[in-house]
Amino acid sequence: MRLENKTDIPIFLEDLLDREWWEAEHSSLTLPVKPIQPLSDWRVEVYWLNGNAKKPFSGHCNPSRKLITIAINKRNTYPLTAKFAVGTEQTPYGYKYIFETIALNSPKELIRFIFLHEFSHLLDYMQGLSLSYKQTKANRFALKHFKR
């Protein structure tokens, strides 16, 4: 994967971009996973969100363009506290999300977390799953690999 940094933040993701094996969930198991296709022609593009953006960050995995985009807001203040859905639990009225709150101490940490989330979607895509499949699974993947 090739990193294209369009911000003034020094970003170092080589430890993630060059990794060959990952631990990922499959059903209720955690298994070692190696991407089935080479990722050398994929790009990771990091840029600033539009100046009027109200959200603190955005990320997207686009397999047709072989691109992962990561956008962050210049106006973010750090530590940035964010809640991420990591699972669901059944209630008498249906299901509700279980959230985990984390504090991201710098734009570098935020970019790293978003990359891991989107990379989880890429691994799912390579296994033939829908990209919109399991946001909670992608959040758990990002939290697991981010905390290492």
Cα distance from N-terminal residue to C-terminal residue, the chain: 21
Query: Residue 23: pLDDT band by 50, 70, 90 thresholds?
Result: confident
Return the percentage of the chain with pLDDT > 70, whole number. Answer: 93
Which are the contacts of 125, defined by CB distance < 8 A and separation ≥ 6?
A: 61, 63, 131
Residue 18 has pLDDT above 90, yes or no: no
| Coil vs helix vs strand at 144 | helix
Q: Which of the 8 DSSP states describes residue 65?
A: G
Show me where the domains of the chain are located: 2-76+104-146
pLDDT of residue 32: 73
- The string of pLDDT tens digits covering residues 96-124 is 999 999 999 999 999 999 999 999 998 88
Adjacent-strand bridge partners of 101: 83
Cis ω for the linkage preceding 79 (within 30 of 0) = yes
* Angle between helical axes of 107-126 and 135-146 (0-180°, round to 10): 130
pLDDT of residue 27: 63
The Cβ of residue 87 has, within 10 Å, a number of other Cβ atoms equal to: 14
Which range has the worst mean pLDDT, 13-17, 33-37, 68-72, 141-145?
33-37
The Cβ of residue 80 has, within 10 Å, a number of other Cβ atoms equal to: 19
pTM of the model: 0.88
pLDDT of residue 49: 95
